[in-house]
Amino acid sequence: MNSETVRVGGMSCRLWQSSDGRWKWHSRRGGRRVLNAAADLTKAKAKAKQQLALLRDGRSQLGNLDPALLSEFLAWRGQRSDSPPIAEAARKYLAHQTEREIQTRIIKADIAHFAAKHPGPIADVTAESVKLHLDSLGVGPRRHNNVRQTLVSFFIWARKQGYLPDTMTAPQRTHALPVPKKRPPIYTPAEFRALLAAVAPEWRLPLAICGLAGLRTCEAERLMWREVKLGKKLIEVLPENAKNTGRRRLVPIHPALMTWLRETDFAPDDHVCPQGVRIDNLAKRVKRGGVKWVKNGLRHSYGSYRCAVVKSAAQVALEMGNSEGTVRSNYLEYVERKAASEWFKKK
């Protein structure tokens, strides 16, 4: 069998003539061994030399790479190959959130929707794929930003678990949408009383607490009677029950709310709010009775009417667990003091 050897620098390649008269040799492409063939020896040598030159130049460039950069790339490639499917990472993340006693209903739905569209490893997700997913939701800017933030938190957690390289994650590389500034909708005092009259008796006190103490619905749902300090005229919102902030706060019990509380029997180990049904699920019931339901309207109403009474954004911010800037932009100087007096009037 006729054979020849081609050399370029320190690399070589063996060519041989097969039974059909063609010259053949092996090369590497994409990490795989590839069989090449040419009609005559001259063409075979030229092509083999070209392939060896490319291989030599590629190795030379690799040799010139910064060792730290090369190490970072190899670590990234190892993490990428070991990255779990999104659905598997999501199960662990939700279990982690549950252990921290964080409400996961909406988080779970948002991540499950994303995982259904991206069945591959979490490391394969790109900023472009996240953007396309968010754009496909067809929701307003606030909801768009909420879903984005859920994915940002999920991917940051995944990075801390070693599922992703130690760099900015794909959701972080997307941008939140600007949210138009507008005043949150509130109830009038008459609408508030109509709402309380429309719900079942066991739901009146929880709604009164939301409207007359400014608790979030999730905070009211977790409130225990032992956290209602009638003697001190304070409601204690525990850190684990305070949404977002995770800080304990004390909310004053106003005379109007005190009337509701003193008329209710309670036990220290019982929840103030009926369990098993969320406050927001009352919406359909009251709407069927022709009564207005405003999502988060009771809390927003408290902020607006309370600002009209105390004229202090800082004080209302402490009571509501918000930033002073949020209180100023959302609640300050929107309602008259006369309406506020009507809101906090004893029943």
Q: Is residue 125 part of a domain?
A: yes
The answer to whether residues 39 and 91 belong to one domain is no
User: What pLDDT, on a 0 to 100 scale, did the predictor assign at position 60?
Assistant: 46
8 Å CB contact between 225 and 268: yes
Name the domain boundary from 128, 148, 173: 173
Condensed to tens digits (0 to 9), the pLDDT of residues 82-115 reads 688 999 999 999 998 888 877 778 899 999 999 9
The answer to whether residues 207 and 300 belong to one domain is yes
Q: Could you tell me the residue range of the domain that residue 43 belongs to?
A: 3-64
* Predicted model pTM: 0.58
Name the domain boundary from 124, 146, 173: 173
The answer to whether residues 226 and 90 belong to one domain is no
User: What pLDDT, on a 0 to 100 scale, did the predictor assign at position 64?
Assistant: 53
The answer to whether residues 326 and 274 belong to one domain is yes
> Residue 233 sits in a domain of what CATH number?
1.10.443.10
User: Which position has the higher pLDDT, 32 or 216?
Assistant: 216
- For the residues of 276-318, what is the DSSP string, one character each? SS-GGGGHHHHHHTT----TTHHHHHHHHHHHHHH--HHHHHH
The answer to whether residues 163 and 199 belong to one domain is no
Q: Name residues whose C-beta falls within 8 Å of residue 29's C-beta, 6 or more positions apart in sequence.
A: none
User: What pLDDT, on a 0 to 100 scale, did the predictor assign at position 245?
Assistant: 62
Q: Supply angle C-alpha 279, 283, 288, rounded to 5.
A: 140
The answer to whether residues 163 and 234 belong to one domain is no
> Residue 114 sits in a domain of what CATH number?
1.10.150
The answer to whether residues 204 and 308 belong to one domain is yes
Q: What is the mean pLDDT of the chain?
A: 87
